[in-house]
């Protein structure tokens, strides 16, 4: 196993050497991957907002109104993928090559089977889900089209997330970043072609997203089948090891359910937001894209902590596990301060880059350019309260008292403060 790791300079030796430099080397590409992914996702909003043949506001609202539903599904399975990451990292720390390969094979099959099940159930429930979100009649057909196309790609979307977790378990955070850059450029290019040239609008953006995920998941799968590292997989040996699956679910399912609970809260809040009209829906959708970028920056250190701790715990280096935790908390704190500064000083400008709709949105709903569903911010306060600085606004209290109450009822004094603090008017 040591020889396999030495052949790949991208992999990180988590069991020896300075922790703080290696955590940074791990976390920065993870954060960059999340930011890049969200920027490419936001490009869909930008494309339909600027190039849609019909009402650009309705198109933006249609894409954004699906975010809570997609988040509910992805958060659950990303939690399970984290369980796979920890199980593989632990096996690497123990030096058990057989356990690593069982976990890798089980993870891939779990992603594909789970994706197919979610796609089938989602297609059946797509309409009722959007009804539950109080999507307006003007937006509903567009939102339903986007959601149905997005759900078709769920197997490859989940496969990509599990493959990313597999690479990160050996400390290779650069491969997913490089692959995402390739697929992201394809996503934007295909989106522009389908919307501008073929006038497919919302369906074109959704199709471009699915195509990009097919490409990214296939590239990572190819790398897994051709790597010399211990995570190498033989497609002829794919199968599920029940004991390994139970270990993955034991660790990952609680994390996934926890994230899914917040996603359910987001759905409730989104329903309240949607009841305020198309313009508010569109503005909330745009603001959420900036909020989630801040979340990805800060979440990268928790990802690093989980993987580093998994390997060191497997190697029975308990003291080093404690040091890893301390370093990750400190570096996360510094990243939080930096992100707060960026959001406070450049947040409105970042929002303006996404769509020209903000001017009309301000005239309809004061300060709404800072706002997305507050509970989305509240769910991040456990690790990164800064996200509230973008989205939580007195607008929530004026336009939707229930939404503001939900945010304040959630953990985190920062959320309570930001829901009631005065905001700067433009």
pLDDT of amino acid 314: 93
Q: What is the pLDDT of residues 264-281, one digit of tens each?
A: 887 788 788 877 877 777
Cα-based distances in Å from 224 to 1, 9, 160, 179: 16, 16, 12, 13
Domain ranges of the chain: 2-363
DSSP state of 237: G
Q: What is the pLDDT along the chain (426 residues), one digit of tens a residue?
A: 444 444 467 789 999 999 999 999 999 999 999 888 888 877 888 899 888 887 678 888 898 888 888 888 998 999 999 999 999 999 999 999 999 999 999 999 999 999 999 999 999 999 998 988 888 898 999 999 999 999 999 999 999 999 999 999 999 999 999 999 999 999 999 999 999 999 999 999 999 999 999 999 999 999 999 998 999 999 999 999 999 999 999 999 998 998 888 878 877 887 888 778 777 777 776 677 677 777 788 889 989 999 999 999 999 999 999 999 999 999 999 988 888 888 788 767 766 665 554 554 443 333 333 333 333 333 333 333 332 333 333 333 333 333 333 333 333 323 222 222 333 433
Exposure string of 229-261, with b = 16+ CB inside 10 Å and e = fewer, is bbbbbeeeeeeebeebbebbbebbeebbeebbe
Q: Using alpha carbons, select from 284, 275, 298 the residue that is nearest to residue 375.
A: 284
- The DSSP secondary structure of 35-61, one letter per residue, reads HHHHHHHHHHHHHHHHH-SS-HHHHHH
Gap between the Cα atoms of 317 and 304, Å rounded: 16
Gap between the Cα atoms of 369 and 48, Å rounded: 18
| pTM across the whole model | 0.79
pLDDT of amino acid 394: 34
DSSP state of 17: S
Gap between the Cα atoms of 320 and 425, Å rounded: 49
Exposure string of 117-128, with b = 16+ CB inside 10 Å and e = fewer, is ebbeebeeebee
pLDDT of amino acid 273: 80
pLDDT of amino acid 119: 96
Gap between the Cα atoms of 238 and 105, Å rounded: 5
Nearest-5° Cα angle at 183, 66 to 167: 95
């Amino acid at each position: 196993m040591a020889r396999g790791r030495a052949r790949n300079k991208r992999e990180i030796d988590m069991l020896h050497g300075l922790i703080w430099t290696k955590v940074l080397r791990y976390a920065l590409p993870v954060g960059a991957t999340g930011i890049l992914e969200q920027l490419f996702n936001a490009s869909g909003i930008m494309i339909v907002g600027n190039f849609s043949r019909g009402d650009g506001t309705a198109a933006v609202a249609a894409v954004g109104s699906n975010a809570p539903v997609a988040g509910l599904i992805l958060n659950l399975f990303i939690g399970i993928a984290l369980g796979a990451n920890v199980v593989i990292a632990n096996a690497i720390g123990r030096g058990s090559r057989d356990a690593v390969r069982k976990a890798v094979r089980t993870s891939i099959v779990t992603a594909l089977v789970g994706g197919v099940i979610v796609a089938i159930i989602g297609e059946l429930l797509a309409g009722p889900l959007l009804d539950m979100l109080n999507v307006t009649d003007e937006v509903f057909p567009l939102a339903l089209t986007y959601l149905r196309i997005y759900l078709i790609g769920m197997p490859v979307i989940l496969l990509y997330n599990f493959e990313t977790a597999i690479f990160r378990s050996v400390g290779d955070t650069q491969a997913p970043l490089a692959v995402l850059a390739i697929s992201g450029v394809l996503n934007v290019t295909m989106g522009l072609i389908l919307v501008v040239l073929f006038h497919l609008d919302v369906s074109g953006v959704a199709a471009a997203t699915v195509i990009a995920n097919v490409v990214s998941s296939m590239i990572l799968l190819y790398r897994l089948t051709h790597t010399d590292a211990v995570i190498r997989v033989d497609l002829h040996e794919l199968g599920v090891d029940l004991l390994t699956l139970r270990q993955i679910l034991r660790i990952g399912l609680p994390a996934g359910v926890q994230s899914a609970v917040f996603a359910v809260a987001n759905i409730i809040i989104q329903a309240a937001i949607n009841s305020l009209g198309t313009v508010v829906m569109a503005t909330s959708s745009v603001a959420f894209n900036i909020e989630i970028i801040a979340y990805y920056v800060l979440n990268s250190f928790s990802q690093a902590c989980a993987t580093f701790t998994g390997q060191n715990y497997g190697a029975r280096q308990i003291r080093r596990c404690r040091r890893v935790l301390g370093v990750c908390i400190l570096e996360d704190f510094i990243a939080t301060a930096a992100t707060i500064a960026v959001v406070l000083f450049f947040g409105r400008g970042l929002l303006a880059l996404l769509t020209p709709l903000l001017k009309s949105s301000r005239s309809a709903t004061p300060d709404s350019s800072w706002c997305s569903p507050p509970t989305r911010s509240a769910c991040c306060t456990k690790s990164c309260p800064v996200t509230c600085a973008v989205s939580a606004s007195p607008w929530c209290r004026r336009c939707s008292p229930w939404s503001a109450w939900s945010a304040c009822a959630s953990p985190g004094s920062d959320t309570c403060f930001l829901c009631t603090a005065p905001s700067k008017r433009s």
